[in-house]
Amino acid sequence: MSRFLLAALALVGCSGFGGGKDVTYLCEGGRLATVSLSEDAARVRLGDEEFPLRRVPAASGARYAGERVVLHTKADEALLSVDGRELGPCQQVEPKN
């Protein structure tokens, strides 16, 4: 049991986004989505909600999917869907300091 717990903790520690980048998108309707991207995962923050996603195959760009959210990015644009409702198109913006 101890080895399993250590392995699980190691995986949790490796699932962070330390080497990734943060991108902010302004979506249709004025909603801001902050996306933390890594090689095989993403985390989307909308308001006070956060959604973990895994990278899935895409014909072009990068596509990430989770239980409630799908994110498809290409260049500086994104399509974001939450619970089947599209929030896009979204355009990458520079965050205000």
Which sequence spans correspond to the domains of the chain?
Answer: 19-93
- pLDDT computed for residue 60 by the predictor: 93
- pLDDT computed for residue 39 by the predictor: 85
CATH topology classification for 19-93:
Lipocalin (2.40.128)
pLDDT per position as a tens digit, 4-63: 322 332 333 344 445 578 999 999 989 999 999 988 999 999 999 999 999 999 999 999
- pLDDT computed for residue 15 by the predictor: 42
Extract the tokens encoding 88: 């896009």
pLDDT per position as a tens digit, 65-88: 999 999 999 999 999 999 999 998
Report helix, strand and coil shares of the chain as percent, to nearest 5.
15, 50, 35
Cβ contacts of residue 93 below 8 Å, gap of 6+?
A: 24, 25, 26, 32
